[in-house]
Every structure is written in C-alpha cells, then in structure tokens.
Amino acid sequence: MPERKGVPLPVFKGWIYSIKQAFKQIFRNKGMAVASLFSITAMLLILGLFFFLTVNVNFITENIKTQFDTIEVFLLDETTEAQAQVMSKSLEALSEVKSVEYISKAQAMEEFKARWGENAYLLDGLSVNPLPNSLRVTLTNLEGGDLTAEVCRNMMGVEDVRYYQTEVQKILKIADGIQKGALIAIAFLIIVSIVVVSNTVKLTVMARQEEIRIMKYVGATNWFIRGPLLLEGVFIGLISAAIAFGCTWAIYARLMDALSQQAMVLLSSSLVETGFMMENLGWIYAALGISIGAFGSILSMRRFLKA
C-alpha cells in the first residue's frame, strides 16, 4: 500500500476530506458559525479579564504577604543612626523579634527603584530623597506582631510604624472571593458556548441526514462521518481563540501602560508583565477553544449517530 510520511494513503486522504468538508460546512452555515464564533470569543474575552484580575491579585497578594513577618519602623529625620542602633538592640531583646535591620534613606531608594523595575527612571528626577530612615523588624512568629508593632510606636524617635497583617488578611479574603466568582462565571460561559457550538453542528447534521444515510449505506464508518463535523467545531474554537488572544493582548498592554505606575505607588508592587501573562493565557485559550468546539460537536453528533 502506498504511504506518505509513514501514514497510509487512505488515512491521509480521509483527513484531507474531513478538513475540506469541515470548511465547506462552516461556510455553508455562516450564520450559526458566526454565532458560535462570537459566543466562544466573548466567553474567552471575559475569561481573559477574570484571568488578568485573579493573577494580578494573587501576584500582589504574594508580594504583600512577604511583609507578614516584617514591621517597617519609619524614623524621624532628627533620629541619628546611633540612636537607631540603640533602638535596634532594644527590639532584638524581645522574644517576638528575629532580627532588626537599619535601612538608610539611600538604601530605601535603591530598593524602591528595584521594585519599580523598568519604570525606575521616573524616580531619577527627584531633587530630594523623600524616603525616611527606617528599621526593618523581622518577627519570629506572626502572633506577636501586634504587640511588637505597639512597642515600636511607643519608642522615641519613631515617626510611623507600618504593619499590614490585618490588611493582608482582608486582601486574601477578597482574592479568594474573586477566584470563586471567576470560576462560577467561567463555568457558566463554557456551558453556553458548548450549547451554541452543539446547535451549529446539529443544524449541519440535520441538513445532511439524507447524505449521511447514503454514506452509511455504502459502508462509511461513523468516524468517517464524524470527522468533518468534529473538525468544524475544533476550527471554530481555534479561530475564536485566535481572535480573543489578539483582543486581550491589546487590552492588557493598554492596562499595563495605564495602571502599572499607579499600582507601584499605591501597592508597592508591579503588575504581571504582558509577555508572561499572554504566554500562559495563549495556551489556555487554545486548549479551551479546541475543547469547547470538539465537545459541542460530540454532543450534537451523539444524538444523530450511534456511538
């Protein structure tokens, strides 16, 4: 039997036939195909927005969680480094304190620039370093955090104390709520998309019932008939994924331009970079697009072709 690249020729011709028929069926049922296309694309776009939100919330939350065991003690300008060292020794004597580090204004600015990443050049225009000297107190356990923070507030030479344990707990609850809400919304959208694709393929099957009956009469297998219908759903899913990917890339790039600096100022954390975000989202889109299209086709075919 002639072969092509290790694939038997009848099998190869079967795939070619299925692909051609799939495209013919898409163009033959343009209305429902477009409806399916828009349905899956809309679902993926909304999924992308939820994905942006949850990933960035988790990323920011993880950055803030690193401050769980740390208390920032900001010192008055008139507090000397020698006085700060005395304060450090007093705090290190507490059983709740693991270590105390003195952070000068210059060091604080360098750390701040490192957090800003590629946007650090915006800080070069500052004529005066506005950041204070500080003490970074690392706790041995979180249970003693509130007590230690209160001790720091009562020390001479302290301007302010920053300890975000309560705020981080609130953020974690919000992040958990966002994730659960996103999963419910995504599940609903996936079901709707599968139903629409299923109806599209169902119309194709109904229109070709007589043709399918003849094909089965002359010996065509169920899978020979299913192939074009299955590929039709897969192609619709893939095209939807490509459209959604392009739209979400443009949306996220604009959001990064508009919000990255504000996030750094307000939350001391950057947003997830566009390249990393879209690299992962692209695979998710492709997998969901193919799965929704294929599953919608399979559901439809099972009602007309015996499995």
* Percent of the chain topping pLDDT 70: 66
Q: Which amino acid is at 48?
A: G
Which fold would CATH assign to domain 69-163?
Alpha-Beta Plaits (3.30.70)
Please write the tens of the pLDDT for every residue from 242-266: 998 888 888 877 877 766 655 554 5
Please report the pLDDT score of residue 3 as a whole number.
Answer: 45
Residue 300: per-residue pLDDT: 66
Over residues 15-26, the mean pLDDT reads 67
Across the chain, where does the E strand assignment appear? 3-4, 7-8, 70-75, 97-103, 134-139, 158-162
Residue 187 in this model has a pLDDT that exceeds 60: yes
Higher pLDDT, 138 or 111: 138
Write down the residue that tokens 């995504």 correspond to: 186
User: For residue 189, what is the enclosing H or E element?
Assistant: helix 165-207
Instruction: Report DSSP state, residue 186.
Output: H
Above 60 in pLDDT, residue 63? yes
pLDDT band at 7 (very low <50, low <70, confident <90, very high): very low
The answer to whether the beta carbons of residues 204 and 231 sit under 8 Å apart is no
Burial 127-138 (b: 16+ CB within 10 A, else e): eeeebbbbbbbe
Q: Is the pLDDT of residue 9 over 80?
A: no
What pLDDT band is residue 295 in, cutting at 50, 70 and 90?
Answer: confident
What's the start-to-end Cα distance of the chain, in Å? 30
Question: Are 104 and 111 spatial neighbours (Cβ–Cβ below 8 Å)?
Answer: no
pLDDT of residue 87: 93
Q: How confident is the model at residue 35 (pLDDT cuts 50, 70, 90)?
A: confident
Domain range annotation of the chain = 8-64+168-302, 69-163
